[in-house]
A and B are shown apart, each in its own frame.
Chain A
Amino acid sequence: MISHHPKFELIQAFVNGDLPASLSAGIAIHADMCPVCQQTIAQFTEQVAENSFEEEYLDRFIVDDNEALDTIASIDFDHMINNIVESSDIAVVVPKVEHTISFNDKTYTIPAALNSMEMGKHAHIGKLTRARIQLNENEIHTSLLHIQPGGGVPEHTHKGFELTVLLAGSFHDESGEYVKGDFIMLDSSHQHHPISTNGCLCYTVANDALHFTQGINKLLNPIGSFIY
């Protein structure tokens, strides 16, 4: 059962469209598998929408009302309406096409939220395989990370944040067992050593190289940049 969910503040920012694509997709993937968060998101969206289009509510935030009104007047709304209704374009429903990706002979369905994202080539280190997702978000790096049975990531901390959404399989660390759908957000205060006994596929987002803490693993620096 899913037991790790995004914090409410994160859901707020998600609904408001204020998160980067990487984190937004992470929440969408989780919500697809989590009825609880789905419900929270739906309710919060309804509320934000209501507030957004409620006249008096907006007025409270307009500091320079005259300027705002000037701008509104400077757009030719009638012209815009005419332009729009002249178009006979109509959006047709395109059923979602399932995309798949294979890691070590296992095929997985790519979550719908990632459908239009560009996947990089696979890179391997030991039992880890990574496919970078090309989102061009500067220091934020997003990947699909596949761990073969018995594989794991050496003990490490994070200088920034590290989000893992489990897409398939399971893994465990010092804090417990994680299953499909879990949304695991770690910051620099966490130190962990995930191991996957039966293998797993994760969606990962990190904004800084991982910092390895185990003695010998300090020599394994390449793995830090590999996962990050």
Chain B
Amino acid sequence: MQTNLLSRPTSAKSTNMSDKINHPQLCQWLESVAISRDKQAFTNLFQFFAPKILRIARGKFPNEAQANEVVQDTMSNVWRKAHLYNQDKGAATTWVYTVMRNVTFDMLRKIQGNKEDNLSDDIWPIAESMSIETEIFDDHLEHANLLSVIEELPQAQQDVVKGFYFREMSQEQLAVHLNLPLGTVKSRLRLALGKLKVQLGEQHD
């Protein structure tokens, strides 16, 4: 009963990117979800992926409700984790495939009575493990995932963080620009960074 997606002869060579999938478009939608939580972009992604995920899931789960759950969980992870997608690391289809395969794997383990232990993200990580300090200081917060976390900060802290990292203003320049005492800029920056670190998780090594 299983849909065998691998039965097609394969060459280990990469980049058989077909022109049947509009990869740049998918990438752009994923970026819009990551950066601005764009609901229309998500709807477009959903309409592209969901029917296909459902068909694949129906090959693995005889139970219709379980196949639906794969669609629901996969697409909901796409919504929640879009900012973890890095287009330099591969196509959007590859990333969504990984999310779907992981959801399926954990669900099968649960159903087969093995364990409900969600091992898939350890076996097939969907994001690079990141080191906060270097990302912040070397990459000037360009990453969308940091952006979305910054958006959660109180406005006063956001102004300082964005000015400091995106516009690369010094703390002194910021004080003038925001018409604040230098001490206030420094303490807001410290506070914001503290929150970002907690949000993004401390670096362990």
Contacts and interface: CB of A to CB of B under 8 A. Distances in A.
Query: Chain A contact residues: over half helix, strand or loop, or mixed?
Result: helix
A8 to B, nearest CB: 7
Contacts of A95: 129-132, 200-204
A62 B55 contact: yes
Contacts of A54: 18, 20-21
A216 interface: no
A75 B71 contact: yes
A85 B15 CA distance: 32
Contact of A45 (B50, B83, B98): B98
A43 B14 contact: yes
Given A24-B123, A80-B71, A135 B115 contact: yes
Interface stretch (A109-117, A157-165, A167-175, A177-185): A109-117
Contact of B68 (A58, A75, A93): A75
B117 A50 contact: no
Interface string A74-93: 01010011011101011111
B199 to A, nearest CB: 5
A42 B98 CA distance: 11
Interface residues of B, number: 85
A93 B114 contact: no
A32 to B, nearest CB: 10
A84 B115 contact: no
Interface in A91-122: 91-98, 112-118
A53 B93 contact: yes
A72 interface: yes
B8 to A, nearest CB: 7
Nearest to A74: B64
A207 interface: no
B200 to A, nearest CB: 5
Contacts of B167: none
Contact of A48 (B13, B64, B97, B204): B97
A43 B5 contact: no
B17 A50 contact: yes
Interface in B39-95: 39, 42-43, 46-52, 54-56, 58-59, 64, 67-68, 71-72, 75-77, 79-81, 83-84, 90-91, 93-94
B15 to A, nearest CB: 7
B148 interface: yes
Contacts of B56: 52, 58
Given A17-B104, A25-B119, A42 B90 contact: yes
Nearest to A77: B50
B118 A116 contact: yes
Contacts of A87: 76, 79-80
A21 B98 contact: no
Contact of A72 (B48, B51, B132): B51
A132 to B, nearest CB: 14
B84 A116 contact: no
Given A47-B16, A50-B18, A91-B84, 17 more contacts: A12-B10, A21-B109, A25-B119, A25-B123, A46-B91, A50-B94, A61-B4, A61-B59, A71-B54, A71-B58, A75-B68, A77-B46, A77-B50, A90-B83, A91-B77, A91-B80, A116-B117
14 contacts: A21-B109, A28-B124, A42-B14, A45-B97, A45-B98, A47-B16, A49-B94, A52-B93, A61-B59, A72-B55, A75-B68, A77-B46, A84-B75, A95-B131
Interface of B: 3-6, 8, 10, 12-18, 20-21, 37, 39, 42-43, 46-52, 54-56, 58-59, 64, 67-68, 71-72, 75-77, 79-81, 83-84, 90-91, 93-94, 96-98, 100-102, 104-105, 108-109, 113-115, 117-120, 122-125, 127, 129-132, 145, 148-149, 152, 199-205
Q: Which 5 residue pairs across A and B have the least CB separation, nearest first?
A: A49-B97, A43-B14, A96-B129, A94-B201, A49-B94
